[in-house]
Chain A
């Protein structure tokens, strides 16, 4: 007999289906959802403030900011 331990216990009682929690960024928030192991949406478990406030494009802009001044130090 092939018993899948995820769905039934040795006593024959029906077990709880295993689930997976995933976090998706949404604007300023992180939405944590619960999925079945077959990928079925089971609900939202948490909504948190995303503490990484800068999105990737904003980080790119922040990273390029410096005064490029070499030309102002050449001999006039």
Chain B
């Protein structure tokens, strides 16, 4: 199961939980660095749902790290392996499953053979898919010649932001009415693994200096 059943879902906040009732305020700075004469904008937006990305043990001190649940990237629907089950994007996969079948079949044999040797790895590192749920509003996907509707959403690790909230004291001392869904332990581990992998990549520049 992707989410805990309503009977098992408790009131404590955890890594990966889905919340509602928050907003994002993003500074938009056209010409940094800022000085007295520079102007900047703060864009405020509201999404229906947000995901907790603070580690469970760090949910305290009136601060939470969140990421908004976003509509899926249209590109995922080009890949039939993903179309069957979008949550496959959350796991490591063979190279042939990470590429649309048409492109895979037309690939140069040497390139294909090299990719087949790579084994199981992540693709689309920035994203983690949240499985369809009755709480989520369905929306259409624009694909050539196809009318697709989905209730799946995703988080993009590049959109993590911080909120301050006086009611976030500890995992079991939080604004309880905001909690909508709780991941199972297995799903939470998948999210943790992919997030860790995303942040643990080492840039080539550092590799050269450190090896």
Contact = CB atoms under 8 A, between A and B. Distances in A.
Interface of A: 56-57, 60, 63-67, 69, 72-73, 76
Given A60-B202, A72-B103, A76-B102, 19 more contacts: A56-B210, A56-B211, A60-B210, A63-B200, A65-B119, A66-B122, A66-B123, A67-B93, A67-B98, A67-B99, A67-B115, A67-B121, A67-B122, A67-B123, A69-B123, A69-B124, A72-B100, A72-B104, A73-B78
B201 A67 contact: no
Interface string B183-199: 00000000000000100
Chain B contact-residue range equals: 20 to 34
Contact of A65 (B103, B121, B207): B121
Nearest to B115: A67
B75 A73 contact: yes
A73 B99 CA distance: 8
A55 to B, nearest CB: 11
